[in-house]
Structure 1
């Protein structure tokens, strides 16, 4: 469940507190709020409609999905003008009449699609894998269609990722709570909300995900992943101490569980370093990344987004440190120049990762110029 608050007073209810409407499962903290919602909040006219849609959770997901698609198509309108969907070959979706989006690394005339077409494609691929018992590896690969482009194979980002994450969640939320696909759909929803900068909404999803995993007695691997996601949201909300505490635990847990060369350990290392940097603990940031960056470059490769993010974090720690030397500033610029070119080539100039590295490089160069220019000179 992600509807974890009373529909009237927003009291936090967790997974099981409070009561539900007997017809549509809308949640309340108690009888008083339920009665008020019926008499004054319009629930008397909505209740049957919510039940017909599949209950409160499904109704909410359907509504949020429609809103997210509208936002995504509007944001992509200029880029998609005069194009057609590569799946259905139409400009407007035949049923929903929605416009096109493109939120990946495709360029030119490639990658334009309707969110509904992308969602239907992912849904069909997943259903085939389950019906034919293709196994966990095939399921995980096909689940990637919910968040990555089948053409350029790069992740969707921003409002397009958010719309697809709502599509994913509304597709699988009706499954049992212990169902693996339902759980990863909830995780994907948190990812999409974060990508669109809806961090407070993402926080609710992340907390619910972690609580559910613990209630189900999930493997440590899954719990660590959920903790890492929650820590990222804490950081996005400026709750840096909470983020650091959790990321320290995740990094330590990954080292013990997966070893220093595993991708998940490297992701945890970069997250830990980011939290340290937010608290201006620059010496510790550089210590962590000097140890893990060479591993990432060897294991993941120079083109991997995790490698590029690590190098960007390291460069920021170099030039943002008030005690940075001239050599530190030069190293920061040198560290970023190659990743900037790599990101532009692999992800395209419009991708958030490319834009982030370019912005960081500009700041590093500005800091270097300021130090190299003698005080008072023209």
Structure 2
């Protein structure tokens, strides 16, 4: 199979995707990806795009674990070729976050059925989903998730438990993103911030800016750490 034939198959697979014929798209996209790997190698932009296309199809078929594996490869390759700041790399990060969100939602529904709404593992899953939702910029949805987790953790674990404190700090960052300054200040007063000991004179950054930046980093790191352990 030569490269022109592979290109034609890729175009047909794209047409199937646009028509919502996901099973047919998958069959073609698998063949395209395998052949491009043989002809061009894993690091070629066309191969990376073929991975991204197949990952979309897996997502539409609800095969989140397979989608996650491919999206991780796409992100790694684009980071190597283009750097973290390139729009294609940023899009790959966002695509992976969406997959994590769907995986977390599926896990959360199972935990709710098995353990109930107020089990500590269920509440942690709600908080994790809030973190991913925040990363995706869906701050209102993230606020709702964090508030459910926070109220449940206070009731079940107590207000000083590390899980409760972490959720409170995540919630304070989401409040800040929504412009809810009074709620942000109230939570910081009770639970502190992600970087309460930061020396603002060291870099000329205000305390509020440092806190929010550190919290954004913490949210991302915590979210991805959860997935690296599963």
In the superposition, the TM-score normalised over structure 2's length comes to: 0.51
Q: Which has the higher helix share?
A: 2
Q: Within 2, Cα distance between the matches of 1:214 and 1:269?
A: 21
Distance change >3 Å, CA 279–CA 249, structure 1 → 2: same
Which residue of 110, 134, 142 corresponds with 1:235?
134
Q: Within 2, Cα distance between the matches of 1:336 and 1:283?
A: 16
Query: How many residues align structurally?
Result: 159
Q: Within 1, Cα distance between the matches of 2:122 and 2:102?
A: 16
In the superposition, the TM-score normalised over structure 1's length comes to: 0.33
Q: Within 1, Cα distance between the matches of 2:145 and 2:188?
A: 18
Unmatched segments (≥5 aa) in structure 2: 1-15, 32-57, 85-91, 221-230
Given that residues 68 and 99 in structure 2 are in contact (C-alpha distance below 8 angstroms), is that contact kept between their aligned partners in structure 1? no
Using the TM superposition, give the Cα deviation of residue 42 of structure 1 relative to its aligned residue in structure 2, in angstroms. 6.3
Aligned to 2:144: 245
Distance change >3 Å, CA 282–CA 222, structure 1 → 2: same
Report whether the alignment pairs 1:265 with 2:164: yes
Using the TM superposition, give the Cα deviation of residue 211 of structure 1 relative to its aligned residue in structure 2, in angstroms. 1.1
Aligned to 1:216: 114
Aligned to 1:4: none
Using the TM superposition, give the Cα deviation of residue 264 of structure 1 relative to its aligned residue in structure 2, in angstroms. 0.8
Which residue of 291, 314, 318 corresponds with 2:190?
291
Per-residue displacement from partner, 1:141-161 (whole Å, max 9, x unpaired)? xxxxxxxxxxxxxxxxx8xxx
Unmatched segments (≥5 aa) in structure 1: 1-7, 11-32, 48-55, 80-157, 159-194, 297-306, 316-331, 344-351, 357-378
Per-residue displacement from partner, 1:236-262 (whole Å, max 9, x unpaired)? 333322222221221111122222222
Q: Within 2, Cα distance between the matches of 1:280 and 1:212?
A: 34
Per-residue displacement from partner, 1:280-321 (whole Å, max 9, x unpaired)? 11122111101111xx7xxxxxxxxxx32x678xx9xxxxxx
Using the TM superposition, give the Cα deviation of residue 228 of structure 1 relative to its aligned residue in structure 2, in angstroms. 0.9
Aligned to 2:39: none
Larger relative contact order (C-alpha < 8 A, sep ≥ 6)?
A: 2
Larger Rg: 1
Given that residues 269 and 288 in structure 1 are in contact (C-alpha distance below 8 angstroms), is that contact kept between their aligned partners in structure 2? yes
Aligned to 1:256: 155
Q: Within 1, Cα distance between the matches of 2:29 and 2:217?
A: 46
Report whether the alignment pairs 1:72 with 2:76: yes
Using the TM superposition, give the Cα deviation of residue 205 of structure 1 relative to its aligned residue in structure 2, in angstroms. 1.5
Distance change >3 Å, CA 281–CA 37, structure 1 → 2: closer
**What root-mean-square deviation, in Å, do the aligned CA atoms of Structure 1 and Structure 2 show?**
4.7
